[in-house]
Amino acid sequence: MAGEPDNMILVYLRRFDEKLDRVIDDMRDLKIRATAVEEGLVGIHRRLDRLETRVERIERRLDLVDQPH
């Protein structure tokens, strides 16, 4: 009987180890996906900044904004 608890403990430890491996894999996947989202947002911000600069220049040329003295 002394062997059975050790075996059950090993069974549970192996199950736990397998689940932990899946969690680690999922976390790795989530980190990769989060990085891709961050990179995409950086690109969007860059484009918005350029558009803002272009709109400001157009507004100045059309005298739609007050010029600083």
Q: pLDDT digits over 8-37, tens only?
A: 999 999 999 999 999 999 999 999 999 999
Q: Using a pLDDT cut of 90, give the percent of the chain over it.
A: 83
Residue 2 binned pLDDT confidence (cut-offs 50, 70, 90): low
Helices (H), 1-69: 3-61
Q: What's the whole-model pTM score? A: 0.63
Evaluate the CA torsion angle 15, 18, 20, 26 in order and state its sign.
negative
Torsion of CA 8, 10, 16, 17, to 10 degrees: -160
- The more confident residue out of 2 and 10 is 10
Burial code of 6-26, b = ≥16 C-beta within 10 A, e = fewer? eeeeeeeeeeeeeeeeeeeee
